[in-house]
């Protein structure tokens, strides 16, 4: 994972120590790791919602429903992250019509699992590369006739 990414465990510590004047009793708060049975999440659906939002959905369910979602404008540069409970989210307040890269990992209170394959999300509409055909242009007219039969 990128060392600049701020996705450290939200659990402040995996163990706590306390002392008393009477004895040196140590209390350990157990923090379970992500289970081996948890499958690395895969983005299974994505779409642009509007000019500054994208929607993603992932799966499969394998025992956890809490996830960390990382995203950025280049693959590998994960500038932002958010925690999600559930299997879908909408990311808002993005630069207008700008696609992003997203990846998802299972998480618990102490640990973030392995991130799934990054996905390029929010791609633009296909470009409009044509102008109105002129009726007197034979080539354009023939092309249109050809398309009627396709």
Partner 1 sequence: MTIFSLVIFSFIIISFNSSANDLIKKEQENISFSPVRLLIPVINISANIQTLGTNSKGEMEVPTNIADVGLFKFGAIPGRIGSAVIAGHFNGKNNQEGVFFNLDKLKVGDKLSVEDKTGKSITFMVQKIELYDSGYADNVFNQNDGVHLNLVTCDGLWDEAKKSYSKRLVIFSDILKE
What is the bridge-based pairing of β-strands 88-91 and 53-59? antiparallel
**Which of residues 37 and 96 has its CB atom nearest to partner 1 in the complex?**
96
Note the Cα 103 to chain centre separation in Å.
Answer: 4
CA contacts within 13 A on the Cβ side of 64:
25
Residue 95 CB, nearest approach to partner 1 (Å) = 10
The footprint of partner 1 (CB under 8 A) covers 46-48, 51, 73, 75, 96-99, 117-121, 123-134, 137, 139-140, 144, 147-148, 150
**Which of residues 28 and 145 has its CB atom nearest to partner 1 in the complex?**
145
Both structure tokens of 134 = 């002129």
From 91, 86, 90, select the one nearest 59 (Cα to Cα): 86
Residue 5 CB, nearest approach to partner 1 (Å) = 20
Residue 99 CB, nearest approach to partner 1 (Å) = 5
């Amino acid at each position: 994972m990128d060392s600049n990414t701020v996705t450290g465990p939200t659990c402040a510590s995996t163990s706590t120590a306390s002392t008393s004047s009477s004895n040196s009793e140590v209390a350990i708060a157990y923090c379970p790791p992500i289970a081996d049975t948890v499958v690395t999440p895969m983005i299974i659906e994505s779409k642009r919602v509007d000019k500054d939002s994208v929607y993603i959905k992932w799966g499969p369910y394998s025992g956890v429903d809490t996830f960390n979602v990382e995203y950025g404008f280049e693959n590998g540069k994960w500038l932002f992250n958010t925690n999600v409970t559930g299997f879908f989210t909408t990311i808002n307040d993005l630069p207008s019509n700008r696609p992003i890269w997203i990846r998802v990992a299972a998480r618990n209170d102490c640990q973030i699992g392995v991130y799934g394959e990054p996905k390029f999300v929010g791609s633009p509409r296909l470009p409009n590369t044509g102008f109105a055909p002129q009726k007197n242009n034979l080539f354009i007219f023939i092309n249109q006739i050809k398309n009627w039969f396709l």
